[in-house]
Amino acid sequence: MPRNFKETVTDLGLTYRSGKQAISEKNKSRITAKDTKNLGGSVDLDNDLLERYPQDNRWDYVVAYNSKDKTSLYFIEIHSACGDSKATEIVAKKCWLDRWLATEGHSLISFASNIKIVFYWVTTDKTPPLGSKAHKIMAQKGILGPKPRLEIKEL
């Protein structure tokens, strides 16, 4: 059984990248880390799972952050927030991710005994105001955001 993030994603047939290298160049500046040496790697889920799920609304990335006694997994969707339908698109992607994590990708959230998980929507444009319909929908679905930036740290 895999014991860490890198072994787990490799066993799942995903491409492990160190740090936040899996995040596209145009979006890397949107994601920072409190301590970059604690970044445990990243995976471009959308690209890696395209052939297996070509018609599905796939989630974008997962980034691991390691601390003394736990691993924090940040599932990150980087997506426009313009228009009322965008929140619906993010919910569809989260539903897909939930199904994938419950089946084929289950080992990603269970490879260690102390894993903390967060789902995060990072916007590529104007962020809806707090209290907006998008924020309310995200809260109902367990997704943080939408926000223009994300700092990865211990959860």
Half-sphere exposure (Cβ direction) of 9: Cα atoms closer than 13 Å: 21
Q: Report d(CA 118, CA 155) in Å as an integer.
A: 8
Its domain, for residue 48, covers 5-152
CA dihedral 20, 23, 26, 29 (to 10 degrees): -30
Count Cβ atoms within 10 A of the Cβ of residue 26 and give its class: 0-12 exposed, 13-18 middle, 19 or more buried.
exposed
Confidence band, pLDDT 50/70/90 cuts, at residue 150: very high
> Is the pLDDT score of 65 beyond 60?
yes
Q: What is the pLDDT of residue 2?
A: 58
Domain count, the chain: 1
Cβ–Cβ under 8 Å, residues 107 and 11: yes
For the chain, give the percent of residues with pLDDT over 70: 98
- Give tens-digit pLDDT for 71-81: 999 999 999 98
**What mean pLDDT comes out for the span 40-61?**
97
**What mean pLDDT comes out for the span 29-51?**
97
> Is the pLDDT score of 83 beyond 80?
no
User: Which is more confidently placed, 68 or 142?
Assistant: 142
Beta strands in 35-140 (DSSP E): 39-44, 61-66, 71-79, 115-123
Structure tokens at 49: 């799972």
For the chain, give the percent of residues with pLDDT over 90: 75
Average pLDDT value over all residues in the chain: 93
**What mean pLDDT comes out for the span 58-81?**
94
User: Which among 16, 27, 12, 29 is positioned nearest to 100, based on CA atoms?
Assistant: 12
Which amino acid is present at 53?
Y
Q: How far does Cα 76 stand from its chain's mean position?
A: 3
- Give tens-digit pLDDT for 94-134: 999 999 999 999 999 999 889 999 999 999 988 887 788 88
CA dihedral 16, 98, 116, 60 (to 10 degrees): 40
SS3 24: coil
Confidence band, pLDDT 50/70/90 cuts, at residue 1: low
pTM of the model: 0.94
